[in-house]
Structure 1
Amino acid sequence: MKSHLISLLIAALGAFSAAIAAAETPNVSVDQKQYALLEKHCTDCHAGPDAEAGFRIDDLSLRIADIPTAARWQKVLNSLNSGEMPPKEEAQLDKAAKANFLEHLASVMVDARSLLSDQKGVITMRRLNRREYRNSLRELLGVEINVNDLPADTSAKAFDTVGSNLYMSSTQFEQYLRLGRESLNEAFERQAARAVEKKLQFEAEEITPKVAKFIEYQVDARTRAENWMKEVDEAAARPENAAAIEAIKAGPLGNHRDILYRNWKQIDGAPAPETFGFQTKENNADKALAASRPFHLPYHRYYMEQPAIESGAYLAASTEHPSVLDSATINLLVPFSWPVGEYVVRFRVAATEHAPPDRRFIEFGINPRTQQAISVHEVTGTMDAPQIIELRLTMTRANGERANRSLFLREKGTRDNWEQALRVAGQGRKENDGIGQKFALWVDWMEIERIPDMDQPQPPGIAAIARLPLDDKAPAPKLEELRDAFQQFAEEAFRGDLPSPQYVDQLVQIYANYRDLGEKHSDALKDTLAIVLSSPMFLYHSEPRESAEPRLLTERELANRLAYFLWGSPPDEELQQLADAGKLQDRQVLEAQINRLLDDPRSHDFVDAFSYQWLGLERLDFFQVNLQHHPRFDNSTRQAASREIYETVERLFQDDGPLTDLLSCDYVVINGVLANYYGIEDVHGDDYRRVSLPPDSPRGGLLGMAAVHLMGSNGDTTNPVERGAWVLRKLLHDPPPPAPANVPQLARLAGKPLTTQQRLIAHQEEPQCASCHRKIDPIGFGLENFDAVGNWRTEDSYQAMDDNGKPVKDGKVTWQIDPAGKLHNGPSFADYQELRSVIAAEDEAFARGMTEALIEYALGRPVGFTDQPLIEDVLKQARQKKYAVRSFVQALVQSKEFHSK
C-alpha cells in the first residue's frame, strides 16, 4: 500500500509543476586593453586555422554572450594560472602585467557565471525547506519535530529558499510520510495530556551521604591494599621464590606487585589481588576505584568540610573519572512515563566566596553523556541570598527518549571534552595544595514542572479534527464525519487552498483501507492524515503559473509569500483575513503588516536564517577550538559569541536601526557570558542587551565580534587570508575570484621561523597568487590584533616544526603585530581602528550586498542582471531612510517583483 501512496504523491507533484520562462543572454566583456596582452604574447602560436592545440586567440570574442565563449575564456584563465602558458622557452609576461590581467579576467568570469545564470525573474517551483517544513508542522499541529534527517537545503552558492536547490525524490516522500506520522503521534499525545500536571524536585544534599560513604570505601580499600602489598612482599622475600622474582624483574614490567596483580599464582603463598576489592562480586566499582585512585580521598574529605553540604551540593570539576567526586554534574531523572509538552525547569543556586568572574556560570542540558549544554546562565546569587533560575523546556518525543530523560547542571566549561576536563582538574589541584579544585557554585535544588495547556487555543490542524475521537475508547466515527474532518484538515494544511472533492474521497477510502487491514481507528487516522502532510500541496509553495508570462500573485499567495519570508511559516489568521478581504494590496495595510510580522517573535527564524547565510557563518562549525591555547573559549562561550551576531541583527530590526551599525558602532549586544569574556564590567544576566562602549574599544560592529574572528582562524591560529576574503565578500561586496587550482603550497617554508606576514608575502611571489592576495592580505593583516578566538593582542609567535611534528631548535619567533597597511588601489591605514573606518566608509557597497542577498532570500531565486532596477530602487528607498534595516524589507515587499510570479 505504501508504494501505491508514493505513486499517488509523485503523480500529484507532476500535476502541480509550473513552467519556467526562458532567459535572455546578458552582456559582459573582457577589456580591450587587457586583451592586448594576449595578442602580444599568444597570437604567434594560437591564431589562424593551424593554431597550436586547435585553440585560437585571434577569433576569441571579447563579449561573453554564451557558455561556449565563457568556457574558452575560462581555459585562458586556467592556462595562465597554472603557468602552462606561455611555455617556459617563450618570452614570459611581466609579473605585474600578468597579475593585473588575471585579476581582471577572474573578475569578468565571476560576472559571466552570474549573468549567464540569470533567471530573468522566474521563480522555480520550490518545496518547503527544512526550516519551513518544521515551522509549518509547528503552526499546524503545535509540535516540534527533528528534521535533520531530511537533505540539507543550504549551499555555498545559494540560500535555502532558492527553488533550484530544493529538489525532491521518491526517497524523500518516504521520509515525509514517516515525519508526518511522527508529528501526528506527538500531536495526539499532547492533546491526550493537555490537563496533565507533573512536578518533581531533587534536593542536591542527597549527594552528601554518598560522599561520606565513598570516604569509608577509600579508607577501607587503602588499608586492605597496604595489607595485601605487605603479604606480597613477604612472599617475594622467601628463598623458595627467589628464582621467580628474578624472572619477573627481568621481564617487561620488572615489578613483582604488578605481575602478581595479573597472575598471582606465579609466587607461592601470595594472596590473590581480589582480596582487597579489585575483582570479587561482593566489592563494587567504587571500592575498586578507591583502591586504584587513593589520591581522591583528600578531595572527598575537603568536600565534607564545606559549610553548606547539609542543605545543598557544591559543583566539583569533572576529572579523571566522574566518581572522583560525584557532584561534578547534578542530575534530575525524569520518569519516562511523563508526557511530551511544555515544562518549566527551576534551580536554586549560589556562587561561593571562591568564585572568580570566569566561574560564575552554570550550564543546563539534557543527557550529560552528550556533553552538550542547552543553555548557560550567570549565577549572581550568593550563599546568603541564592537565586532561582527558571527556564522553559519543550519535552518532545525526540528529546524525551528514555536515555535522554536526565536533566543536568554543571559548571561552565568543565566538560567540553575529556582533555578539557583533565586540564581543569589539574589546574584546580595545582591551585589548592594538590587537593582538588575549590568549589565555585552551590546548588540547593532542581525541579521540573509540566504546564497544562487546557486554556490555550488548539492548533488549527488539531481543531480541524477535534470532533473526531483521537483515541480508541469512543465509537468509530461515521464516514461523513471523517470526510468533513479530512476536508478541514487538508484546507488548513494547504494554507487556505481547498482540496478537491475527489482528493477528500481518496482520503476517506485510504482510511477505510487501513481499517480493513486491521488497524485501530487512531492508527488509521494518523496514517491517513500523514498522506496530507506528504502531499505536494503541503510540501510546496503553491504559486501556479500557466504561461511564460509573469502574473500578479493572488492575495492569498501574497500572504503566504510574506509570512514565509519573515516567519518561515504559514500566515496567521489576521494575515489570512486581510488577504480574503482583498486588503493586502493596499500599501499602508501592507506596510503595517510587515512591521507586525517583524515585531512578532516568529521573525527570529528570518533573522537567524538570513544572517547565517548572508554573512556566511557556516565556518563557525568548521573547527574545534584548541582549549589548551584558548581555555576561556569553551563551548558555552562559543555559543554565546555566535549568538552575538544574530542578537545584534535582531536588535537592529527591532529598533529599525541603521544597517551601517554592523560596520562600526559604539555599542555591543551581549549578555553576561560575553561581557565577562570581553572584559566589559557591570553587565550581568543571561539576556542580550545593548551596552555602550568607550571610544577606544575594538568592539562594535561585526569586526569586533569574537565569532567573526573565529571564522577567520583554524581554531588555534589566525588565517589573515580567510579574514580578508570574508571582508571583501561580505562587507565590501567585492568578492575575490575562486583560487586557482595550482595555488603554491607553503610546505616549502616548513621548519623556518617566519612571521605570518613573511609567509604570506612568500606566497605572493607568483602572479596568479598576487592578483588576489594584494587585495586580500592587507585587510587580513589589519585584523591581526585579534587572535584566533577574538581576543585583543599586540604580539604573536610561531614555532616551526620538523617533518615529524617536533619543534625545531631555535625555530620559534615572536613579533610585535603591525596592522598598518594599504588597500589595493585604496587608502592607507595605520591600525585596526583606521581600517575599520575605511571599511565603514563603504556603506553603499555593504548595503548593495545586503540588498542582493535579501532579494534572493525573499524571492527564492538567484539575483541576476535583470534585477538591477529592483536593486537600485530598494537602495534608493533605504538610502533616503539612512539605511534603516526595515526600509530594505519594506521596499522589497512593496515592489512589483515581490507581488509577481
Structure 2
Amino acid sequence: MGKTANSLLLTAAFSPAWGQGDLSVRWDKEVLPLVETYCYDCHGDGIKKGELAIDKFDNIAEMQANRDVWKRIQDHLKHQLMPPLDEDQPSAEERKKILDWIDAAVFPVDPKNPDPGRVTLRRLNRVEYQNTLRDLLGVSVNVMDLIPPDDSGYGFDNIGDVLTLSPAHLERYLEAARVALDKAVYPGQMPPPEAAFAGREMKGNGHRSEEGHYLFMAGEAKVSFKPQRAGTYRVTVTAGGTLGGDGPPKMEFHENGETICEWDVDARLEQPKEFTHEFKINDEKPVEMGVVFTNDFYQEDHPDPKKRDRNLMVNALKITGPLDGPPPEKPQSHKRIYGKREAGENDEAYALRVLNGFARKAFRRPSQEGETKRYLQLVALAKKQGEGVEEGIRLALEAMLVSPAFLFREEPQPEPDNSKKIHLIDEHSLATRLSYFFWSTMPDQKLMELASRGELRKNLDSEIDRMIGDDRSRQFISNFTGQWLRLRDMPSTRPAEKFFPKFTGKVRDSMRRETEMFFGHIIREGLPMESLLDADFTFLNETLANYYGIPDVKGDKFQKVTLKDSHRRGILGQGSFHLLTSYPLRTSPVLRGKYVLENLLDTAPPPPPPNVPQLEPPGHKGNQQSLREQLEKHREDPSCASCHALMDPIGFGLENFDAAGAWRDQENGKQIDTAGELMSGRKILGVDDLRKALVEDHRPEFYRSVATKMLTYALGRGLEWYDRPALDRIVSDTEKAGGNSRAMLRAVIDSVPFQYRRGDS
C-alpha cells in the first residue's frame, strides 16, 4: 500500500501542542484568565452578545457537545475578528495559547489512529450520470435537461448529504435511461436509416422561423440528400396550411426538379399532418429534395375572410430508407452490449450472460450472488407479452439504469453500523473514487481489470498519470474549478454595456476558458500549486489578448503566452476573477477580499449584519465619494471594522482592475489608491504586492485551502475537525515536494479519508 499504509502511522509532529497534562487544570490556570480578560465583557458574566455566553460551558464535555459553537469561536480568534478592534487585543502568544487549547480539548485527534469519517451513500449527480451513460452505452446523449438540477453543499454538487432522490428524480432518471437506450440499442430487426430536416433548415424562398419554412406564395423549400445506395425510400413531409379560394394548398414533392407526387394539404397551420410517399432512387449520387407550393391564392376582397389567402407551412421533411434489401448492420453500441449469441444457447442463458456483463460495468463491481437473475423476470414478462428476448433484455437494461447499484456509488462495508470499525475500501471502490474524482464518470476497463486482480494500489502512480493525461480529465478541471473558483457563475456576469462597451459575451467566454486552461496546465505539468497565484504565463486567444492589451496573439485558438505585464500574473490578474467579484456598475473591494479569503485561503469571514446599505458607484446621483472613501466611513462602525479590516485591504489592492476586468489607473479623473495594510501588518501597494504577500507569507494557508477544497470534492462530503491530521499530511507532503500540484493530488488520494472509511453510529 506504500504511502497509504504509512499515513496511518502519522508521527507525533502532527500532535496538538497541548499533548500532555490535565487540560481541565490548564483551562482553569492558564486559558480561562485570558478568556475572562478579552471575551467576558461581551460573552460572560451574564452578557451574551450575539447569543454567545462562553461561561455557560462548565466542562470540556459540554464544549465537545457544542463543537459548532467552538468552531466559530476558534475561527473568530484565528482570523482576529474577535475581540473587536476597538477593544483590548491579546498578544500573539496569548491568542496562540487559547487556540492551541481549543484544538487539544474540544477537537482532539489521535494521529496514530485517524478517523477516516464516512460518506453518505452518494447518488450520481447530473454530470456524472450523463458521462456514465456515455461511457457505459457507447453513445453521447444530452440528458441534462431531463434531470432536475442538483443541490450543492460545501461549495460542490457532488456531496452525498444533499444528493437526495425524490420520486420526481426517479421518473426523470428513467426517462433519461430510455432516451439513451433508444440511441444505443436496437432490439429485433434494425430499422432503416432516417435523415430528418427541420423546416427552418430548408433552403429556398419564403420565410423561415422556429415553426418551419413558410411559403406565402408559390415556391419551394429544399434540401440536399445523400442516399446510402439505390433502392426504395419513403418521404414524410409534415405540413399545414391556410385555406384560400375553393380549396386547400397543393404540395408537390420533387426529386432533382422532377415531380414525384402531389398532396392536398388538408391540415391547419396549428395542427400539421404527415404526408408520405414511397419512391425509387436509382444511384448513390446526392439528390435535391424539394417541397413545392403550387397553387398560391390571394384575394383581398374575397367575401369570406377565411378564404382570402392560401399559404403553406413545411414543418419538417424526413427521408427513410432504403426500405428494400438487407437490413442495416446494428451499431457498435448495440453489439458491445448484446454480443453474439452462441449456437444452441437458450433465451434465458443468453439473457443472463448479457445482463451479467452489463451489470459488472454498470454497477462498477462484480455482481453479487443472484443479483442479476432478478432481472430475468423482466425478460420473461416481455416474452409473455409477445416480445422477443432482445426486447426483454432492453427492458431489463432500463431497470438496471435506475437501480440503486447504478444510481448510487455503493461501497461495501463489513460492519456498516459499527462506528468503530475502520476498514480499507476494496479496490473496486477505489477505482470508482478515482474515476469520479478525475473523470466524473465510471471506471474504464483498465481500472476495472487492475481492481479485479487486486493490483490497483500497486499501480497508483502510473494510473494517476494515465488518468490526468486522458482527455476525460477535463471534467475534473471544469467541474472542480467551476465550483471552487466559481467559474460556473461566469455566464450570469453582466457588466453594464453602457459603462463597459468593449466587453462582449465572447470576451467573457474567453476569460473562463483562460482560467480553466491555466489550472489544467498547472496540474498536467506538475507545476507548483502557488503558480496559480504568480505564474508568469497564461492562455489567450486574440479576442482576450486584445482586451487585455497584450500584443502579438493571433487567431481564435488559445495559446500559452508569457506575460511581460506583471499585473496579469496568476489568477488575480485574470478577467474571470474580476468579473465574479464585481457588480454590473462597479467593482467591489469587499467581494474581492472575501473571494481571496474564502477561496484561496479558506478563511471565510462571517456574513454581514442585516440591513447593511448598498454602496453606490462613485459619481452616482451626485455622490462624489470613491468606493474607498465610502468603505472607510463604513468601517467606523466597530461591529463592521474587524471583518472589513480583513477583506478591504485585499480588495483595495485590486482596484486597478475595473468591473469588466480591464486595467485602469484612474476612476472619474482621480488616481486610484491601492495602498493598504493586511491583518498581518504587511503593507501593500497594488496587485503585485498583494500577490507577493500571499506567496511569501501565506503559502501554507494557500496549500491548506486548496487541499481542503480538493479533498472535499474527492470525498463528496464536507471536512470535519477529525480530518485535521489528513490535511496536515497533505500540506506536509506538498511542501516537501516544493508545492508540486501532482504531489498534492497524490497526497489527497493517499489520505486516510480517501483510502479508508468507517461505519455509522
TM-score in terms of structure 2 length? 0.68
Matched, 1:482 2:351: yes
Equivalences for residues 708-857 of structure 1 within 5 A:
708-743=577-612, 746=615, 752-797=623-668, 814-841=669-696, 842-857=698-713
Indicate yes or no: 2:651 matched with 1:653: no
Percentage of identical aligned residues: 30
- Are 1:637 and 2:474 counterparts? no
CA deviation map 1:684-743 (0-9, x unaligned): 23332211111x431121001001100011233111100011111122332212223354
* 1:393-792 correspondence to structure 2 within 5 Å: 458-459=332-333, 463-467=336-340, 478-501=347-370, 503-517=371-385, 524-547=392-415, 548=418, 549-586=421-458, 589-694=459-564, 696-743=565-612, 746=615, 752-792=623-663
Superposed displacement of residue 534, structure 1: 0.6
Structure 1 position 35, deviation (Å)? 3.9
1:865 — aligned with what?
Answer: 721
Contact 2:601 2:701 in 1 (8 A): yes
Equivalent residues, number? 592
Going from structure 1 to structure 2, the CA distance change for 1:576 and 1:759 (only over 3 Å counts) comes to: same
What secondary structure is seen at the aligned counterpart in 2 of 1:829? strand
State how far apart, in whole Å, the 1-side matches of 2:51 and 2:596 are.
41
Once residues 635 and 840 of structure 1 are traced to their aligned partners in structure 2, the CA distance between those partners, rounded to angstroms, is 33
Q: Deviations over 1:495-554 (max 9, x none)?
A: 2321543x4333222233245446677665433211011111111222121323111122
| Within-5 A mapping of 1:356-375 | none
2:55 aligned with 1:65 = no
1:139 is paired with a residue of what secondary structure? helix
Deviation at 1:123, TM superposition (A): 2.3
Partner of 1:169: 166
- State the one-letter code of the partner of 2:399: I
CA contact (8 A) 2:116 2:753 kept: no
Give the drift of 1:46.
4.8
Root-mean-square deviation (CA, aligned residues, Å) is 4.6
Q: Work out the CA distance in 2 between the residues paired with 1:657 and 1:577.
A: 31
> For residues 151 and 61 of structure 1, do their structure 2 counterparts lie closer, same or farther at Cα, with a shift above 3 Å needed?
farther
* Equivalence for 2:276: none
Cα distance change on mapping 1:514 and 1:116 into 2, 3 Å: farther
Letter in structure 2 aligned against 1:121: G
1:371-424 CA distances to partner (integer Å, 9 max, x unpaired)?
xxxxxxxxxxxxxxxxxxxxxxxxxxxxxxxxxxxxxxxxxxxxxxxxxxxxxx
Q: Distance in 1 between matches of 2:699 and 2:75?
A: 32
Equivalent position of 1:96 in the other structure? 86
Whole-angstrom distance in 1 between the partners of 2:50 and 2:695: 49
The structure carrying a bigger strand percent of its residues is 2
What are the equivalent positions in structure 2 for 1:277-292 lying under 5 Å apart?
none
Q: Could you say what secondary structure the match of 2:455 adopts? A: coil
- Structural mapping, 1:23-34, within 5 Å: 33-34=34-35
Query: Unmatched 5+ residue regions in structure 1?
Result: 1-25, 79-92, 212-280, 285-330, 339-453, 470-475, 798-813
The residue identity in structure 2 corresponding to 1:97 is E
Comparing 685-694 with 884-893, greater Cα deviation is found at 685-694
Contact 1:32 1:62 in 2 (8 A): no
Shift of 1:642: 0.8
Specify the SS of the correspondent of 1:605.
Answer: helix
Counterpart pick for 1:140 among 136, 147, 169:
136
Alpha-carbon distance change, 661 to 762 in structure 1, aligned in 2, over 3 angstroms:
same
| Number of the residue aligned with 2:175 | 178
The separation in 2 between residues aligned to 1:847 and 1:54, in whole angstroms, is 34
What residue in structure 1 maps to residue 231 of structure 2?
Answer: none
Q: CA deviation at 1:770?
A: 0.8
Deviation at 1:585, TM superposition (A): 2.6
My pick for the range that moved more, 486-495 or 145-154, is: 145-154
Q: Quick one: structure 1 residues 699 and 478, their matched pair in 2 at CA, closer, same or farther if it must change by over 3 Å?
A: same
Do the aligned partners of 1:794 and 1:817 also contact (CA within 8 Å) in 2?
Answer: yes
1: CA distance between counterparts of 2:330 and 2:536? 43
Q: Quickly say closer, same or farther: Cα 1:195–1:631, change in 2 above 3 A.
A: farther
- Residue 96 of structure 1 aligns to a residue whose secondary structure is coil
Determine helix, strand or coil for the equivalent of 2:424.
coil
Deviates more, 1:857-866 or 1:69-78: 69-78
Alpha-carbon shift at residue 199 of structure 1 (Å)? 13
Secondary structure in 2 aligned to 1:898?
A: helix
2:649, 2:678 within 8 Å by CA — same for their partners in 1?
Answer: yes
Could you tell me whether the CA contact under 8 Å between 1:774 and 1:824 is conserved in 2?
yes
Measure, in 2, the Cα distance between the counterparts of 1:55 and 1:677. Answer: 50
How far did residue 210 of structure 1 move?
10
Amino acid at match of 2:337: A
Question: Shift in Å at residue 771 of structure 1?
Answer: 1.3
For the 8 Å contact 2:122–2:161, the answer to whether it is kept is yes
User: How does 1:319-398 map onto structure 2 within 5 Å?
Assistant: none
Q: Name the SS of the counterpart of 1:659 in structure 2.
A: coil
Q: Work out the CA distance in 1 between the residues paired with 2:122 and 2:690.
A: 42
CA–CA separation in structure 2 for the residues paired with 1:881 and 1:662: 16
- 1:70: how far off? 5.3
- Residue 175 to residue 477, structure 1, CA distance change in 2 (3 Å): farther
**Aligned-pair distance for 1:76?**
14
Whole-angstrom distance in 1 between the partners of 2:57 and 2:75: 13
Distance 2:160 2:225 in 1: 44
Cα contact 1:99–1:770 (8 A) shared by 2 = no
Contact 2:601 2:704 in 1 (8 A): no
Distance 1:890 1:94, change over 3 A: closer
SS in structure 1 of the partner of residue 632 of structure 2: helix
> Aligned-pair distance for 1:33?
3.2
Closer, same or farther: CA 895–511 of 1 in aligned 2, 3 Å: same
8 Å CA contact retained: 1:795, 1:815: yes
**CA 657–70 in structure 1, closer or farther in 2 if over 3 Å, else same:** closer
TM-score w.r.t. the length of structure 1 is 0.58
SS at match of 1:821: strand
Measure, in 1, the Cα distance between the counterparts of 2:355 and 2:381. Answer: 15
| Cα distance in 1, alignment partners of residues 215 and 70 from structure 2 | 80
Give, as a single letter, the amino acid of the residue that structure 2 aligns with 1:736.
Answer: P
- Listed one character per residue, the Cα deviations across residues 834-856 of structure 1 (whole Å, up to 9, x for unaligned) are 22221222222111111122222
Kept in 1: contact 2:571–2:577 (CA 8 A): yes
Residue 538 to residue 765, structure 1, CA distance change in 2 (3 Å): same
Are the aligned partners of 1:775 and 1:823 in contact in 2 as well (CA < 8 Å)? yes
Aligned-partner Cα distance in 2 for 1:774–1:844:
21
| Structure 1 counterpart SS, 2:667 | strand
Separation (CA, whole Å) in 2 of partners of 1:530 and 1:490: 12
Change (3 A) 1:55 1:758: closer
CA distance in 1 between partners of 2:174 and 2:215 (Å) = 52
- Which blocks of at least 5 consecutive residues in structure 2 are unaligned? 1-18, 77-82, 208-213, 229-327
SS at match of 2:534: coil
